[in-house]
Amino acid sequence: MKSITKKLFAGFVALSASLFTASPALADTSHQDEKYLTLTLIGDSYTAGNGAGQYYGPAEAYRSMRNWGHVYADKLNAQGVHTTVHNLAESGQVTQGVLDNQISKVPSDSDIVLFTVGGNDIDFQSIITGCFGGTWIGNSSYDNCSAALKHAQDLLPQTFANVETILEQLSAKLSPDAQIVMVGYPLLSTEGEYILDNSGWFSSATKSIDAAHGVRQFGLDAVALQEDLTQKWNQNVAHPHLTFIPTHALFAGHEPNPYFIQYNPQRWFNEMAEENGYVNDEGKVVSTTSTTTLMFYHPNITGHSEIGKYLYNQIGVPASARDKQSYARPIDVTFLVEASSQTKAKLPEIKKQIRRIAVETFDASANANQKARFSLKSFVGEDPISDEQAQPDADLPEVPQPDASSPVEPVTPDLPEAPQPEAVADESAENAAPTDPETATDDTEPAEPTSEPEAAKPADTETPIADAPETPEGPAATTSFGELSNVLDSLNDLDTTSNQNAEDFLTTLKEVTTSSEWREEARKIVVVIGDAETGQNSESLSQSVEQLLLSAFAANTVEFNLIDLDTDRTEPLPSLFTRTGGRMQVLGDLRPLILETPTAKLGQVTTQKVGTTVEFSADGSVSPNSDIMSYGWDFNGDGQPDNTTKENKISHTFTTVGEHTVSVTVTDADNQTAIATIIVDVTEDGDLVDQSVDNCPDIANEDQLDTDNDGIGDACDDLNLVEIQKKVIAGAEAQGFDIHSVLPGATDITLTLETATPQSWNVTLKDSVLSYAATDKAEGGETASAMLTMKVPAGTTFKRSTPETKDMTVRLRLTATKIIPAMKLTPGKQTIPAMELTPGKQTIPAMELTPGKQTIPAMKLTPGKQTIPAMSLTPATKLPQNPKVVDHTTGDVLAHTGTSVGAIALLAMVLLSSGMVLSIRKES
């Protein structure tokens, strides 16, 4: 233990430890939906709670269940924000100790971290003893007080550097959305003079100091310096936001009296020789005498309460609170089931709910790559008590309770990370843990179960398991933590028991809470299923509840959840569940305790033309919990639904151009929600091409295709005549195609042969099938022309969407080709012997060539008598690169038809597959 001067104000940094500042983040809770929050406390004694009583955890840490962090969490829980507290703060801790011992234990999924730190670094205990300690605990004097203030000033730079390191390490560990809150320290003295001088027994004063003013000014100067630090920190947007909550103004008039052993009657501090002080209903301070110097000059119970309420007023519900629970760490779940006569008829339903909760928890953990473990224990309950026997309320002090009509949803505790121990093997029912004599109560006599079963169970109760034991007084169910299959198998043996085989509720809950089987790094959850009523007297019950809460927080932290058989609950039992961040519900209308978020999906939508009606589909959205009940559609990006439907499809018309944010919020039967968002581009013509360069500004044509290179995109261009050329082998079989295979919407199809067409051609149209052939009488190069006219829907196969029909005309130019007869080759009947070549022995002189004087007549070729088979032709794969379009604006042969280029393109592809050549010409 430190000496008195070293331990008197360990952790007290009331002056300069207002080390951090920022604008408070206010939250509107008037329409507060259920939220989940993991709240972690680190730092020194001003956070831990020295002097406030109700301590838990390591004795030397002095972690109090009455500290301002718990008060703030209680107010959040009372508002339905399920807040689990993890208190890592320690009495006497310095900044380096926080870095070495606390940061590593902060849960990585903490949503908000709050602390005070720095006072022990700056040696404020010397300021207290040197300036205000008198001669009983110190040597107050001008010299000692002046030296202590100067020493604190000298230590400030290193303290600042360590605090900034704490922030950096928190930033590296937490989510960017998390919040950090640094709570300032009250000033150590009230206003007014308190003069110390250097006078002695035999000398007059030559120097003096107003100790009260000097200490207060030092604290205010330190606050200003820390505001600069916080402003600098928040300039980096990548940092979690830092909020400073100064408390010196809050405590104005409630600080300690600087005169030794003189008390401020309005104090919110434990002054000299007192602890556990609080302001009673009459406005007077009541406290307990203490000789433990670690309690002095720390906020008393009222001081912590005022700071906690001030935090709630300044911060409200933190912006970092989650809409769903975190599965970032392992989960240990214990089901604690009442197995008395009054629950026998409901056991089948209880088993069903346990199975569902266990399976859903296992799946959610597996999806997050974490491991969930489960255990099961049963306890005996009491017979229902009458109204006359009901005990009056016995609320714990300063604990806000939620409104009884408000459903309280669960929050899962978040705990420090640590190596994961091996799972403990299952124990048999005979090895149930004995009762802890220190926690057992003499006031409660468990009711004996009746030998006769209850009346017939309700109609909607699940049929009991076939092989379940029928005896109403079997052994208690007791299983250690294990795999999912373990707890599911153990449910087969779960049945009613008696007080000879099982303990009562409070004793069993104490045993579970203090179990050594919890994994240190795991979220610890107890699900109590039974009646939350007891005949225990109020005082004894309040003590039992307080001890259970202290045990839950000491385990860091066990969350208690209640599935009640009805809505009647004995006070203060509900505080077990609300103060640990759990929920209370009734078995009859139970919803899943641990829910997965639904998945929302919203189909992508292409660029749209302004004024076009668009259909949106959320088909594919699913919920693992229950059916999706509604779809909220937001078309203007303001976060509020413009329309809500039960169907997963809806139509909407955009009346303005621009980039529109569209989202759908799906809500399932368990009131779990998910959001999917897309961006829809709306333009004047339905494409993203700038209007100033768009070659078709009225119709969507992202590809800007301009087949005839006239500067007008094909989507806007009217083609009047298509000419298709085809070479046909004379005498070959007829070829053809079905017009409807290309243009399903074509009607009024007619065929006209030009008068100059020779009789050697055979071109016919039957219904929509065109056939053509050249007889063997056709001469090579002989041509024929045919005209196809029809009506087609404009835009049938391209980008237009108008329903009107337009005329289309296709001219076929057929050219006959003659086949050159193949020469007949026959095998030879005699082999000509090869000549033997021998090397020459004499060189023959080269002949002299002279120009010829006579022309040799050309050979005459006569037609062959055998046909060489035609070569196989493969379909053409693309249109000519530079087609020409014939545009007859006047004339008798073809009227102005306005053909869709898309339709022509598809028609041409089919014709080309038969070997035709497409020629599109535009003529003036």
Lookup: tokens for 44: 């020194």
Greatest mean pLDDT among 202-216, 244-258, 792-806, 810-824? 244-258
DSSP-derived 3-state class of residue 656: coil
Cis peptide before 437 (omega within 30 of 0): no
**pLDDT for res 459:** 35
Average pLDDT of the segment spanning 333-356: 89
Confidence of residue 758 (pLDDT cuts 50, 70, 90): confident
Average pLDDT of the segment spanning 112-126: 94
Lowest mean pLDDT among 170-174, 380-384, 771-775, 784-788: 380-384
Lookup: tokens for 893: 């042969």
Confidence of residue 786 (pLDDT cuts 50, 70, 90): confident
Confidence of residue 723 (pLDDT cuts 50, 70, 90): low
DSSP-derived 3-state class of residue 559: strand
**Spatial contact of 634 and 642, defined as CB atoms under 8 Å apart:** yes
Does the structure show a pLDDT above 70 at 826? no
Crossing angle of helices 301-315 and 68-78, in 10° steps, is 50
Average pLDDT of the segment spanning 722-748: 79
Does the structure show a pLDDT above 90 at 257? yes
Does the structure show a pLDDT above 80 at 269? yes
Looking at per-residue pLDDT, the higher value among 468 and 818 belongs to 818
What whole-number distance in Å separates Cα of residue 727 and Cα of residue 232? 83
Average pLDDT of the segment spanning 22-45: 64
| pTM strictly above 0.75 | no
Cis peptide before 557 (omega within 30 of 0): yes
Query: In whole numbers, what is the pLDDT of the chain averaged over residues?
Result: 77
Confidence of residue 838 (pLDDT cuts 50, 70, 90): low
Looking at per-residue pLDDT, the higher value among 596 and 698 belongs to 698
Does the structure show a pLDDT above 70 at 384? no
Average pLDDT of the segment spanning 121-148: 85
Confidence of residue 381 (pLDDT cuts 50, 70, 90): confident
Per cent of the chain over pLDDT 90 is 44
pLDDT tens readout for residues 395-409: 333 434 433 333 333
Beta bridge partners of 867: 821
Does the structure show a pLDDT above 90 at 65? yes
Confidence of residue 287 (pLDDT cuts 50, 70, 90): very high
**pLDDT for res 694:** 87
What whole-number distance in Å separates Cα of residue 110 and Cα of residue 100? 19
Does the structure show a pLDDT above 70 at 784? yes
Environment class of 618 (CB within 10 Å of its CB; exposed 0-12, middle 13-18, buried 19+)? buried
Confidence of residue 425 (pLDDT cuts 50, 70, 90): very low
DSSP-derived 3-state class of residue 308: helix
Strands 195-197 and 81-87: unpaired
What whole-number distance in Å separates Cα of residue 525 and Cα of residue 329? 13
pLDDT tens readout for residues 842-896: 655 655 656 655 555 555 555 555 554 544 444 443 433 333 334 433 333 333 3
